[in-house]
């Protein structure tokens, strides 16, 4: 069909010829527009709908061309990969020298793992690691003393502001009796 239709015309035709209700026609028409199978355009105050058979065949032709070009690309990539695999296998033929080298490589990897494991055991005695641990301990001590100073300042402020006894403040905030700076 190569005609243009308005929604009212389509509703009458579908109801008359196929017995489809007007609400269903609207829904079906909207889904066809959404799927790109029917075109629509508003001209003035009227909305027109149409579908040309050539559009569907052109769409299929474009899709076939696109898929054909993608197939060519994939086939080309496959051929290139096969060539690379063949080139990579040159010189890798199984022979006694190659087997010996592969065994030596595997033994070397195992030995390396053993040495790294042994080295990990003695890592705690490494002077650089020890110095880093000392540095981190100093930083932690300084931070703890800074927070201790903050707590003493807060206690002093609470004591002066609210006239509480130090033991009441310590009990209320769970501060131990022997709380003091770290030496």
Run means of pLDDT, 10 residues per run, the chain, 183 residues: 76 83 83 83 83 79 92 95 87 78 92 89 79 92 94 92 89 90 86
- pLDDT, position 2: 67
Task: Compute the C-alpha angle 132/135/137, nearest 5°.
Answer: 110
- pLDDT, position 107: 94
- pLDDT, position 1: 53
- pLDDT, position 110: 95
Q: Buried (b) or exposed (e) across 110-148, using 16+ Cβ within 10 A?
A: eeeeeeeeeeeeeeeeeeeeeeeeeeeeeeeeeeeeeee
- Asked if 4 contacts 40 with a C-beta cutoff of 8 angstroms, the reply is no
> Distance (Å, rounded) from C-alpha 28 to C-alpha 15?
13
pTM: 0.36
Cα 92 to Cα 50, 57, 82, 100: the distances in Å are 65, 53, 16, 13
- pLDDT, position 109: 95
Q: Within the chain, what is the greatest distance between any pair of CA atoms? A: 98
Tokens for 72? Answer: 């060519």
List helix spans (H) across the chain: 7-17, 22-34, 53-89, 96-121, 127-162, 166-173
- pLDDT, position 121: 81
């Amino acid at each position: 069909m190569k005609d243009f239709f308005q929604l009212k015309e389509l509703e009458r035709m579908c109801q008359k010829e196929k017995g489809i209700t007007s609400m269903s026609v609207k829904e079906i028409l909207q889904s066809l527009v959404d799927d790109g199978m029917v075109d629509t355009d508003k001209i003035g105050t009227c909305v027109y709908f149409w579908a040309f058979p050539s559009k569907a065949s052109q769409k299929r032709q474009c899709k076939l061309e696109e898929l054909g070009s993608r197939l060519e690309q994939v086939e080309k990539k496959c051929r290139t990969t096969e060539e690379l695999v063949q080139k990579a296998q040159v010189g890798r033929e199984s022979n006694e020298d190659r087997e010996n080298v592969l065994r030596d490589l595997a033994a070397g990897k195992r030995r390396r793992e053993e040495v790294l494991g042994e080295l990990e055991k003695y890592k705690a005695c490494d002077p650089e690691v020890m110095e880093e641990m000392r540095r981190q301990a100093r930083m932690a001590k300084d931070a703890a003393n800074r927070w201790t100073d903050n707590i003493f300042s807060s206690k002093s402020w609470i004591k002066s502001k609210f006239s509480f006894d130090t033991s009441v403040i310590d009990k209320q905030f769970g501060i131990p009796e022997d709380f003091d700076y770290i030496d």
